[in-house]
Amino acid sequence: MEVLNGLGHGLLEKPYENALVVELGLKNILVNQQSRYDLMYKGVQVGEYIPDLITHGKLVVETKVVERITNHELGQMMNYLKITGLKVGLILNFKHSKLEWKRIVC
């Protein structure tokens, strides 16, 4: 992946997120960064979710810098998909020199 090759591995998550926005923009891919979604409980807002990126209004992209993608990250993405009403998510892990990724479909 171009972003990982350009920045290297093991930084904090935010530089990867920002670099992805640049890279996707250069490829004319529509991307929204840090969109806000209300988390509702019985009709009352109890929080909000701010996904890293949403591309084409259809794909939630989350950047991670963790040892490996576990059930915790997968469960978190499932919740994000439920909150946003979207069906597909992508977790990108920039911890190591080889990009780890998982695609989640609801």
- String of b and e for 14-47 (b: at least 16 CB within 10 Å)? eebbbbbbeebeeeeeebeeeeebeeeeeeeeee
Nearest-angstrom CA–CA distance, 13 and 26? 20
pLDDT at 1: 75
pLDDT at 95: 96
Domain range 2-105, CATH class: alpha beta
Secondary structure (3-state) at 37 = strand
pLDDT at 89: 98
Instruction: Please determine, for residue 83, whether its predicted confidence score (pLDDT) is greater than 80.
Output: yes
Nearest-angstrom CA–CA distance, 20 and 10? 15
Q: How confident is the model at residue 65 (pLDDT cuts 50, 70, 90)?
A: very high
pLDDT at 82: 92
CA distance readout (Å), 79 to 32, 38, 63, 70, 76:
19, 13, 16, 15, 5
The domains of the chain are located at 2-105
37-59: per-residue pLDDT in tens?
Answer: 998 899 999 999 899 999 999 99
CA distance readout (Å), 98 to 8, 40, 63:
10, 38, 14
3-37: per-residue pLDDT in tens?
Answer: 999 999 989 999 999 999 999 999 999 999 999 99
Nearest-angstrom CA–CA distance, 61 and 73? 12
pLDDT at 53: 97
Other beta carbons less than 10 A from residue 89's beta carbon: 23
